[in-house]
Amino acid sequence: MSADSKSEGVTTDSGKAEGVGHGWVDYNRVHNDLREFLERADRLGEVKKVSGANWELEMAGISEMFGNERPDNPPALLFDDVPGFPKGYRVVWGAGNSRQRCALTFGLPEPKQTMDLVQSYRDRMHSSFRHIPPVTVKTGPVLENIDRDGDVDLLKFPTPRVHEVDGGRYIGTHDLVIMKDPDTGWVNVGTYRVQVYDRNTVGLWISPGKHGRLIREKYFAKGQPCPVAISVGTDPLLFITAGNEIDYGVNEYAYAGGHRGRPFEVVESELHGLPIPARDEIVLEGEIVPDDVRTEGPFGEFTGYYASGEQSQPAVRIRRVYHRTNPILTTARPGRPPHDFIYAKSVSKAATIWDEMEKAGLPGIRGVWSHEAGGARMFNIVSIKQMYPGHARQAGHLAFSCHAGNYLGRWVIVVDDDIDPTNIFDVIWAMSTRCDPAVDIDIIGKAWSGPLDPMLPKGQVENTRAIIDACRPWARKDTFPPIAAASEKVMHDTYAKWRHLLTE
């Protein structure tokens, strides 16, 4: 074991920051790692530091409290002085889960509203974005401490128990699961839940059809254990990328590097030569073994339910633990929305669905939002400027069938371009006044779902979903009753003269 680093706090080597706008920090580049990200967020007043909270339900309860009280702008929670653990062993919850922190995560301009973020993300994808592959380096902060074989002790980290009914403590929620395809050598970086069983064994649950599951089964078919590295203290940019629907064969490090504007540095792990982020906080390495099947779960998931229950899953034997001095464990609390990773997920999901729909040839899209209440998957809204008969239906079918919008979907609502898809009041108004349920709802069966869907009977993996056309009927769109609201000019003049009333 070595411990040579002096970087014990949340520090940065980025140089002097420049303030813009309402305290916005413009560094002209994305952060180097989690610690630099947290320092930048702290300068914006976006980090709440908490001392003395217990790993047993208490940290999660505080996270849920802030989510309930400040659903539109919860802080990142940085827990220190966790009872029973060394000072400096910290846990951060919801690192990128606010409008400002999501913009920081991707290095996007300061947003005034949510759709600004979605549009900025898309603008990048259509202009400057390109994949930037990672570069392999010989060392990095993640190698400051290495526990090998008999010295491995996962219980030394303040891993939380999130919900009372959970089957155990979950060290992997805001994580990266790194695997290599045995046939092609492609490296996949996904996000899957990781339960701690004991000092050197964890459970890893991967939904059927996910890339990590496909890779695992390739090794098992060859009669081999599946090598894996699991980062449980990672950059929020990597976390969001790993949880997004990216095409099979695409390198997630390269995709995240494209948003960062420069490559991520990776080091090769000791056992299997897997590329692990050189500046991450905590990385576990071992093998998924087919002959050691244990009970995983239950775990309260992002849908807000214990839908998957207990699962029989092959265990992961951990033989290496790499970590920085005074490591920070990253956590994303799932459960009944709003929870502390869903906002950033909704932004990237909405932008990706929008992009895939346009690539499929659909014109006239004015906005897309994957609502937080649907876990950024189950309730997607598309705003269009109608251009021809059937345009709205085409939009709905594309939104649910594209890669980013398919898995675990439930509802797609298509609205006119005067409706802000992020404003649920607007959306429900459109559904209430522009939709005839008898003719404007299409039901689709046998769609891709999975065990996390609370509506599915055990063993079923296909679901049913609905497309709701909440646009003005095409044949009547020009004669549809006019909206009863002040004009833009009246509201502009009103705000100019009377805005002060809002702050008195």
**Mean pLDDT, all residues of the chain:** 91
Domain ranges of the chain: 18-126, 135-331, 360-476
- The closest of 79, 316, 118 to 199, measured between CA atoms, is 316
Residues 6+ apart with CB under 8 A from 206: 177, 190, 192, 212, 213, 216
Output the CATH code of domain 135-331.
2.30.110.10
Whole-prediction pTM value? Answer: 0.84
User: Where residue 17 falls among pLDDT bands split at 50, 70, 90?
Assistant: very low
User: Where residue 25 falls among pLDDT bands split at 50, 70, 90?
Assistant: low
User: Where residue 437 falls among pLDDT bands split at 50, 70, 90?
Assistant: very high
Among 59-68, 337-346, 381-390, 444-453, where is mean pLDDT lowest? Answer: 337-346
Give the pLDDT score at 116: 92
What Å distances lie between residue 271 and 42, 142, 233, CA to CA? 37, 15, 20
Residue 326 has pLDDT above 90, yes or no: yes
Given this chain, do its domains 135-331 and 360-476 carry the same CATH topology?
Answer: no
Letter string b/e over residues 363-391, b meaning 16 or more CB atoms within 10 A of that residue's CB? eebbbbbbbbebbbbbbbbbbbebeeeeb
Output the CATH code of domain 360-476.
3.40.1670.10
Residue 28 has pLDDT above 70, yes or no: no
138-154 average pLDDT score: 98
List of long-range contacts for 390-398, beta carbons under 8 Å, 24+ apart: 390/474, 391/364, 391/474, 392/469, 392/471, 392/474, 393/442, 393/467, 393/469, 394/362, 395/357, 395/362, 395/365, 396/442, 396/467, 396/468, 396/469, 397/442, 397/444, 397/467, 398/356, 398/357, 398/360, 398/362
List of long-range contacts for 118-122, beta carbons under 8 Å, 24+ apart: 118/347, 118/350, 118/351, 118/354, 118/367, 118/368, 118/369, 119/367, 121/347, 121/348, 121/351, 122/351, 122/354, 122/355
Give the pLDDT score at 341: 77
In this structure, are residues 266 and 278 in contact, taking their beta carbons and an 8 Å threshold? yes
User: Where residue 11 falls among pLDDT bands split at 50, 70, 90?
Assistant: very low
Among 10-14, 118-122, 236-240, where is mean pLDDT lowest? Answer: 10-14
Give the pLDDT score at 407: 86
Give the pLDDT score at 284: 98
Residues 6+ apart with CB under 8 A from 462: 445, 446, 447, 448, 449, 456
Residue 1 has pLDDT above 80, yes or no: no
Q: Which position has the token pair 């009944």?
A: 336
Percent of the chain clearing pLDDT 90 (strictly above): 75
Percent of the chain clearing pLDDT 70 (strictly above): 94
Give the pLDDT score at 344: 83
